[in-house]
Chain A
Amino acid sequence: MQQPTVNIIGAGPAGLNAAISLAKLEIKVNLFEKQDKPGGHLSHWHSLFPNMYDAKTLLKSTINNIKHPNIKLYTSKNIKQIKRQNNQWTISSDQNQEYTSDAVIITSGFNLFDATKKEEYGYGIYPQVITSLELEQMFNKRSKWPFSEEIEAPKAGFVHCVGSRDTKCGNNWCSKVCCVKAVKQAIEFKKLFPKAEVNCFYMDLRMFGKGYEELYMKAQVDYNIQFVRGRLSEASPANGNKVNIKAEDTLMNRPLKQNLDMLVLMVGMTPAILLNKQSEHIDFVKPKFQQGFITPVDNYQSIISQDTPGVFAAGTCKGPASLIDVIQDAKATAFEVLEYLKKEKEKKAEILEKFNMICAH
């Protein structure tokens, strides 16, 4: 019997973990990545909440694991379409290369919210305003701080929910991870600049995961990070390479103005692709306003639709999730795929048996 093959689209944490799980189950995996290196967003992070685990260590060990005889990695492959042919799925890249498999897992992940859409926060206009991703790059020493090295006690602000829970920009969902990530980043920043003054502007703090609440407490007690309930109304330029922010402290019921050396926008998760389902093929297109995240048949399965047996989705392409949830989801999806492949194999065997019986008569 031929070894079944699974095509996985996207080599981020979800794709990598699903590939490893399947490979260990003696299934051949073709792993496709748009970028020239696997890792997805994980390769940009410095450390991971809630335990400050080093992101590079995790990434390295994961990538080591995919060096498995059953896994074939294709980088710089942008997948545009998947087609159904004789109970198999053929995926095609924008260079018109085709790869056929018995099942497909979409692990295309998410895009970060384009912070220029919230023009009032001044991203792209004032150099002091950066995104949470750019801050990680600074932690990784890949880019410079937006303030002068001579400043010993920089004033920093974190704005939560930028592009999340915002009906105005069509992102009605909570991006889940930004709350605790802001806490993590604020602590990390404080470790680098112990004299810094850090304020986090939030509307709700959702510390749902294991160890999150504890981290949040630590930030307040051990690191003296201030949490202000109220959203920013605007950022404007101020004297001395600073940015002036206006907000409201809704617990104290008073308006607030501050001059900051750095303003970090906690950008949320937005859909990376939109699946345009046709009768026999699925096109990958650019998501439109309020569209994108893949909705599986129900919350307890990863199969994307009853009409497309063998196509699964895992990770953040289904909606915002933390890294921990993504890894678990990828592993669970691998088992769902295995189950599917087994059933298909049995079906084939049954047909073969019937065929043999007819021939015997």
Chain B
Amino acid sequence: MMHPFTIPFVVGFTMMFIVLIIRYSNWFRGFSIENRKRIANHMFSRKTIQALNEIFKESLLHLKIYKTNPILGYMHMSFAFGWFLLIVGGKLETWYYTGNFVNPPQYAIFFRFFHPVTEATTIHRIFDFYMEFSLLIVLSGLAIAMVKRIRKRVTGIKNTTHHTRANRFALTVLWFIFPLRLLAESATTSIHGGGSYLTKITSTLPFHTTVELPLWWAYSISLGMFFLCLPFSRYLHIPTEMITILLKKWGVKPELKLTTNKGLQAFEIHSCSGCGICLDACPAIGVGNNKFQSVYFINEMRNGKDHYKTTGLCLSCGSCQQSCPVGIKLEPLRIAARENLNSTMQFIHTYLPSKMILWPETTNVILYTGCMGRMNPRTTKSIKKLLAEANIEYIHVDEDENICCGRPMALAGAKEQAEIMISRNRDIIHSYNGKVLVTTCPICFKQFKNSYNLNLPVMHHSMYINQLMEKGKLKRHQSELNFSYHDPCELGRAFNCYDAPREVLKHAGNVIQLSMEKEKSLCCGNNMGTILLKREDRQQITDKTLTVLSKNNPDYIVTSCPVCKNTLSQQSSIPVKDIAEVLTELPGIKQKKEPSASPLPQGKAD
């Protein structure tokens, strides 16, 4: 059962386990007390079964990748699931053959060497068939992987990751494993007989008796090398991803301060397989000379390299997070990295207005237009017109002066600074007795929703207008106009708010279907998210986005974000409007007043 050629494998395999245990226990030590309690509470619950289910679906079958790109999905699945089938088969085979459940792993892995010809019973034939079938699955995946490296477009992707030297080495070793296994097994079959359909074919090759052992040695060495590399390369994601899924299901939260080798973040960072699916999703890919996409950002963090640029250049549009097959929370990771880098940022906020209210005013809507509202007075004017038209009482809380919602600061990683703005703004908003806070800015909307803990519901104006229209408080005449709708990142991907603005537009005209929209919508190019990306690069992104939006010659490009509107309108030859402006400014869509002044139907929750 033991043969000298198995030593490289045994050494590599053992070393991998030792390194993994050391690394993981280090990361585990970084968990806060709350997180440890969460693990303890949920470890023996249904959550674990749910996690196992997800591990099976995502770590082995890779269903998420399969849904976005079937060829890539099959490639990942064939590697992971095919290898998994081989492991399970090897286990069952040795168990059946020896009668002992526990056998050393090398016995299963090199089973064919030790037992070239098994008894010709049906069950053995089935085992042989099954093992060679599993190997074939893995080899088919390998073939795709090789094609992908040479001609990426065949597999339906435009960009592949440029890997580090260590990763390239590990990749090469991985590619050698399974062809070597096939060769070694074929040599054995050729000399000793046995085997199933696959080796029956390959064993016809002229194998000399002297090559058999060297081939097994080579197979063992490649395996050993791969396992030795695994904890130091991107293949660390294989075991780590499974643990991360478990941890997330158990409710573990990211640690407050990001450390790349502590807590949940360490597991997340090392769960990245470096597959590069985030590259094609990134609206900034191919723009300028920047390689800041998430796969590079994570790789730098993982290797302890300077990640100032990859952290700061990103526009935070959320596209990569949406596409990540591992489900890594990339945006919080980046912001946490910025917090580490920009913690010294200090600004004076003594100028911020404060509000003293003795008798809070009562109103229906508290309207907040934000800083970008000041850049878009047309939008502000339009939303006010619409509120007046629908007979909604409102207070424009930042009409004269406003405090930034704090999101640009938070995105820059200046958390404490953002907190000052948040608390001042919250005081102002809470000093009114409003039923709902409506904002025309998705950036403010996201900040209000996620970081404010307000005592009233928050709505983006596209949602509120849609509600007013549904209740019949606003009516429009459907025109022949064609609209292209641009989904703002902070509204679409962040809150899955795709339908409300489209519903509103459908009341006024036709909404054109675009090649990239909703989850796949491109960034306008001027998101507050970036602190480093050059203007020329951003304008290139805007140009790409406009190409998508301008197709089919719409009459208007419509969006519901003041930043998107401002950015797109600078470069667009087609007029760009906010959704509120569409309803108030465009001719031919205003509903003519009905002759009888019937009272408007009253909604329940306004």
Residue positions of A touching B, CB distance < 8 A: 117, 119-120, 122, 125, 167-170, 233-236, 286, 288-290
Contact = CB atoms under 8 A, between A and B. Distances in A.
B53 interface: no
Contacts, number: 37
Contacts of B570: 117, 168-170, 289
Contacts of B573: 286, 288
B288 interface: no
Nearest to A236: B377
A168 B375 CA distance: 13
Nearest to B542: A289
B3 interface: no
A61 to B, nearest CB: 39
Given A170-B570, A286-B573, A125 B381 contact: yes
Contacts of B566: 119
A125 B378 contact: yes
Nearest to B381: A125
A133 B378 CA distance: 22
18 contacts: A117-B570, A119-B375, A119-B377, A119-B378, A119-B566, A168-B535, A168-B570, A169-B570, A170-B571, A233-B374, A234-B374, A234-B375, A234-B377, A235-B377, A236-B374, A236-B377, A288-B573, A289-B543
Contact of B539 (A119, A170, A234): A170
B32 interface: no
Given A117-B569, A119-B566, A289-B571, A167 B375 contact: no
Given A233-B374, A290-B539, 14 more contacts: A117-B570, A119-B376, A119-B377, A120-B376, A120-B377, A122-B377, A125-B377, A125-B381, A168-B535, A169-B570, A234-B377, A235-B377, A288-B573, A289-B543
A117 B565 CA distance: 11
A168 B566 CA distance: 10
Nearest to A234: B374
Contacts of A290: 539
Contacts of A169: 570
A16 B566 CA distance: 39
- Most chain A C-beta atoms within 10 Å of own C-beta, residue among B377, B378, B535, B566: B377
A167 B374 contact: no
Contacts of B571: 170, 289
A236 B371 CA distance: 13
Nearest to B567: A168
Interface in B370-386: 374-378, 381
A289 B375 CA distance: 21
Contacts of A233: 374
Interface in B534-566: 535, 539, 543, 566
B369 to A, nearest CB: 11
Contacts of B375: 119-120, 234
B570 to A, nearest CB: 5
Contacts of A235: 377
Contacts of A170: 539, 570-571
The 8 A-B pairs of least Cβ separation, nearest first, read A289-B571, A120-B375, A234-B374, A169-B570, A167-B535, A125-B377, A119-B376, A122-B377
B464 to A, nearest CB: 22
A117 B570 CA distance: 6
Nearest to B571: A289
Contacts of B543: 289
A290 B573 CA distance: 12
